[in-house]
Amino acid sequence: QHIRREKATSNICTNEGLCMLATATYLSWLGGNGLQKLSEKNFERGQHLEKQISKLSGFSKMFSGVHFNEFVIHCPDAKKVHTHLLQQGIQGGLLLEQWYPALKDCMLFGVTEAHSEESMTQLVSLLKEVS
pLDDT at 74: 98
The one-character DSSP state at 93 is: P
CB contact at 8 A, 59 and 47: no
Q: What is the CA radius of gyration of the chain?
A: 19
Q: Helix crossing, 78-87 with 117-130: angle to 10°? A: 130
pLDDT at 5: 66
| Alpha helices (H) in 4-110, listed in sequence order | 14-30, 34-54, 78-87
3-state secondary structure of 25: helix
Strand order across the 60-61 sheet: 60-61, 70-74, 106-110, 94-95
Q: What topology does CATH give the domain 37-130?
A: Aspartate Aminotransferase, domain 1 (3.90.1150)
Instruction: Give 53's Cβ-side CA count (13 Å radius).
Output: 31
pLDDT at 3: 58
- Residue 81 exposed, middle or buried by CB count within 10 Å (0-12, 13-18, 19+): buried
Residues of the chain with confidence (pLDDT) below 70: 1-5, 9-14
pLDDT at 18: 86
